[in-house]
Amino acid sequence: MTRPIVVVGAGMASARLVEGLVARGLGDRVTMLGEERQPPYNRILLSAVLEGSHRPGALALRSQEWYADHGVDLRLGTRVVDIHRDRPEGRRTVELADRQELPYEQVVLATGSIPTLPPIRGLVQVDGRLHPKVHAFRSLEDCARLLDALPTARSAAIVGGGLLGLQVARALSVRGLRTEVVEGGDHLLRSQVDETAGQVLARSLRRCGTEIYLGARAVRLTTAGLRLDNGYTLDTDLVILCAGGRPHANLARRAGLTVRRGVLVDDRLCSVDDDRVYAVGDCAEACSDAYGGQPHGFVPPAWEQAGVLAARLAGEDARYGGHRLVARLRATDLEVAVLGDPRHEPGEIVEVSNPIAGTHRRLVMRAGRIVAGTLVGDLSRIGTITQHFDKGTVLGVREAGALLLPDPAPEGTPGGMADLPDDAEVCACAGVSAGRIRACVSLAEVREITRATTGCGGCSSTVRSVLEAGAAVGVRLAGERREAVRKTSPSR
């Protein structure tokens, strides 16, 4: 059977793409190639496995049988070494490490990103392997290796104070380890939030037992510990590398495609050099800043790109117009949401901060509309704020401030979710509204039908609350109907 669509990579973006192709009846035309030996899984929830709140098997986006049942040729433990775009007689092939070549009509690069190795002396041994104390944290295999090391460890130093670093720090702290975060910038989450929000986060982490070293860089790993450039040496049993990553674009370079940070693509997600080569997710870079610019590292844009590309490969004239980013941090006792680019978006600032309570809320407003925002510590209004952000709602002079106050839940409803409008977006990753969730009868049905909660996981509590509120309202209405029937029924 000819399989003209070859997808290189088996991560979250490629899984979403293949789901879109299957939904359009194209599953039997797809070959999916993944280097890891597990079917595509939710990489964002690795910290939940590290924490112990999720089993590794619970991260699978689809089972291996699902792909087989829908005709997809899923090949795991398979490495692609070359893409040959100009074989004799017009043949185009993808070459595997075992020298097998697969013909293609369209090839999709969904290779994601690879961790950045910081310039710390002593991380790598003379044999080229990482020091036994040192751990990357990108895959289930990395997570399993780190879990194996925990029984004999009492402390861990996390290099990097971004989203992943904070998740790992909190997970290890929950496990009982003494944790320390080393961040070269002047505050945590410096790529996403301002200094005030970073200070609130640092205070919350310290309250949970994590020490923070800001404006410091790790320079050397010695027998005494991890040495910082400020003169401190951290006596630590583990060093976790969470200092970011870079697009995995080596295949594209070898194939002669234009690569800046990522594979350069147009609004069709097509390489600017070859209209039979596409790229989505962390390895892709838009040639126009108007619809995405540099690689983003978040789930929602990758999934939106995957949806657009599935439509294009099915013959539809779909184009990627960019994504208004909503990012969530999932970690026990840490709640963070970022809308747009609050650090750089110009506008008027509406802000409410309570460092003692561990909350900070900041909206960037322009012409009465929310154009960016940061919420730390209290996400009770995230659904309504996201709805206004996505729709560009013009708010009244007092409405923006009111949105930053705690959400008073109506009596008898969990978190006020009964009042959330049906068109309010609850899951930013999959673009799922409250109404679509209310149409489901269980969390399992929500995941299967809408794919909500299978992305960053940050919406899980909100989805549960919407379901619970719907059930509570249903019970209340049923009770009111029974009472009305009783009152109108003739007495016996």
417-442 confidence digits (pLDDT tens)? 556 678 777 776 777 878 888 889 88
Q: What is the pTM of this model?
A: 0.84
Buried-state track 252-267, b at ≥16 Cβ within 10 A, e below 16:
beebebebebbbbbeb
pLDDT at 483: 56
Does some domain include residue 416?
Answer: no
Number of domains in the chain: 3
Residues 450, 433: Cα–Cα separation, whole Å? 9
Are residues 279 and 214 both part of a single domain?
no
pLDDT at 2: 56
49-55 contacts at long range (C-beta below 8 A, 24 or more positions apart): 49/140, 49/143, 49/147, 50/137, 50/143, 50/146, 50/147, 50/168, 50/171, 50/172, 50/175, 51/170, 51/171, 51/174, 51/175, 51/331, 51/332, 52/171, 52/174, 52/175, 53/332
Weakly modelled stretches of the chain, pLDDT under 70: 1-3, 288-297, 324, 407-420, 428, 455-458, 471-492
Q: Which of 294, 313, 332 is a domain's end point? A: 313
User: For residue 247, how many C-alpha atoms fall within 13 Å in the half-sphere facing its CB?
Assistant: 26
Taking the mean position of all CA atoms in its chain, how far away is CA 321?
Answer: 20
Range of the domain at 282: 5-113+246-313
pLDDT at 275: 94
183-219 confidence digits (pLDDT tens)? 999 999 988 889 999 999 999 999 889 999 999 999 9
pLDDT at 281: 93
Report residue 401 as tokens: 């401030």
Residues 210, 215: Cα–Cα separation, whole Å? 16
The CATH number assigned to the domain holding 168 equals 3.50.50.60
Let me know the angle formed at the C-alpha of 165 by 7 and 168, rounded to the nearest 5 degrees.
Answer: 90
Does some domain include residue 207?
Answer: yes
pLDDT at 489: 46
pLDDT at 417: 56
The CATH number assigned to the domain holding 432 equals 1.10.10.1100
pLDDT at 477: 47
pLDDT at 386: 86
10 Å Cβ neighbour count for 437? 29
Q: Which of 296, 313, 330 is a domain's end point? A: 313
Q: Which of 293, 313, 333 is a domain's end point? A: 313
Are residues 184 and 280 both part of a single domain?
no
- Nearest Cα residue to 115 out of 95, 137, 96, 133: 137
pLDDT at 99: 95
- Nearest Cα residue to 142 out of 250, 36, 223, 61: 36
pLDDT at 459: 76
Are residues 207 and 294 both part of a single domain?
no
pLDDT at 472: 60
Are residues 201 and 250 both part of a single domain?
no
